[in-house]
Amino acid sequence: MSSSKERVFVTAASGNIGSGIVRGLVKKGIDTTAYVRDEQKAEDMFKDEMKTGHLKFVVGTYSSIDVFTKAIQGHTRLFLLVAAAGTKPTAMSEIKETFAKIAFEQGVRQIVDLSSAFVTSYGRKGIIGYIHTAAEEKLWKLADENPEQRSLVVLRPGSFMSNHFMHDVHSIKDSNIFVSCGLPSSPMTWIDTKDISDCAVAVLSESVEKHDRNVYDMGAEKLSNEQRAAIFSKVLGRSIVYKQLSMEDFYKKVTGSGMSHSFVYHFTMVASKDICETTTPEIAIIIGRPLRTFEEWLRQNAKAFE
Ligand SMILES: NC(=O)c1ccc[n+]([C@@H]2O[C@H](COP(=O)([O-])OP(=O)(O)OC[C@H]3O[C@@H](n4cnc5c(N)ncnc54)[C@H](OP(=O)(O)O)[C@@H]3O)[C@@H](O)[C@H]2O)c1
């Protein structure tokens, strides 16, 4: 891709995935706009990238439509990620539809959407499946209104390894356990957000035609709860144990921490079913290396669990 003609707009640019995309694009010399809520935070995050002259910031939110409409002008590609946890179930699809419609109307030729493996495995079943399926449906409809001009690529990742920073990190640090309500043998398919960022960077920097209308499911490693406990024990050098709660106790514990009924019910459902149908080693074709294992991720982040 010619960096003189292309300019990529990255939403959620200060998040796990967005920040990796910004760094990856700038490293390739591609002019990049990072859409952020807090400019100071962004300046602290992207000190090196700012020095290259390839990065600019636009300060805005999912609600500041006027800011987005003006800022997207002159861009050819858009990475679209909406973090809508805690909002109404229709919020993600409404925001994505609004942003995508404006982007396509302003001349963006390719949108790379961050969805979820739940869409492949469950469709609308479970609230996360509903949220992402509804959003995808609106994006596909917009893209298909003008297929010659509008390209859409959807990334559907499995469970993020970084989810361990939300709850498990505390129980592992405090009492060497992590809890859920699945059987010790229940599997879950994990993915490092770095792999998601790298896949998005490849798609956003290669020809629009190459990836047009692909859906990339992304799952690196299928691990049971007891296999995960064994990897934690090996890497941290102390015994970490998986503790299975009853569904009722799990539901009470997590709703007690403030999560809504719909999300906790969803997590209770998938605790024994897994998020991905299969792992996807074929993503190596796109990113030029194998997907990262859970052990690799944990070795890099072990300090957080000490
Ligand atoms: N966790 C999983 O296992 C999993 C699996 C599949 C798909 N997903 C999907 O992955 C996405 C989360 O990705 P992530 O981990 O990269 O997110 P993240 O690290 O939590 O980052 C969220 C980003 O969104 C920004 N943001 C939050 N509210 C905003 C608003 N109102 N306006 C503008 N920006 C806003 C945040 O800005 P600040 O930095 O200012 O806070 C941050 O840059 C969600 O769509 C989720 O459904 C998650």
In a domain, 144, yes or no: yes
Tell whether ligand 1 has an atom less than 6 A from the beta carbon of residue 18. yes
In a domain, 84, yes or no: yes
CA of 17 to the centre of ligand 1 (A): 8
Each residue's pLDDT tens digit, 267-278: 999 888 878 889
| pLDDT in the model for residue 50 | 97
Taking each helix axis as running N to C, give the angle between helix 261-270 and helix 127-144, from 0 to 180 degrees, rounded to the nearest 10.
Answer: 100
| pLDDT in the model for residue 3 | 43
Tell whether ligand 1 has an atom less than 6 A from the beta carbon of residue 81. yes
- The residue whose C-alpha atom lies closest to atom 24 belonging to ligand 1 is 12
In a domain, 97, yes or no: yes
In a domain, 263, yes or no: no
Tell whether ligand 1 has an atom less than 6 A from the beta carbon of residue 15. yes
| pLDDT in the model for residue 38 | 97
Expressed as residue numbers, the domain containing 96 is 7-158+191-219+277-289
Q: Which amino acid is at 169?
A: V
User: Ligand 1 test: best mutation among 11, 14, 159, most atoms within 8 Å of CB?
Assistant: 14
Q: Is 155 left (phi over 0), alpha (psi -120 to 50) or beta?
A: beta
In a domain, 170, yes or no: no
Each residue's pLDDT tens digit, 61-88: 999 999 999 999 999 999 999 998 778 9
Number of structural domains the chain divides into:
1
In a domain, 45, yes or no: yes
| pLDDT in the model for residue 132 | 97
In a domain, 136, yes or no: yes
> Any idea what the CATH number is for the domain that residue 202 is in?
3.40.50.720
Indicate the pTM of the whole model: 0.97
- Distance, CA of 3 to CA of 12 (rounded, Å): 22
| pLDDT in the model for residue 2 | 43
| pLDDT in the model for residue 85 | 76
DSSP H helices in the chain: 16-27, 39-45, 47-50, 65-71, 91-105, 117-122, 127-144, 168-175, 193-205, 208-211, 225-236, 247-256, 261-270, 284-287, 294-301
Q: Which residues of the chain have pLDDT under 70?
A: 1-4
Which ligand 1 atom sits closest to the C-alpha of 11?
A: 34
- Distance, CA of 133 to CA of 152 (rounded, Å): 15
In a domain, 235, yes or no: no
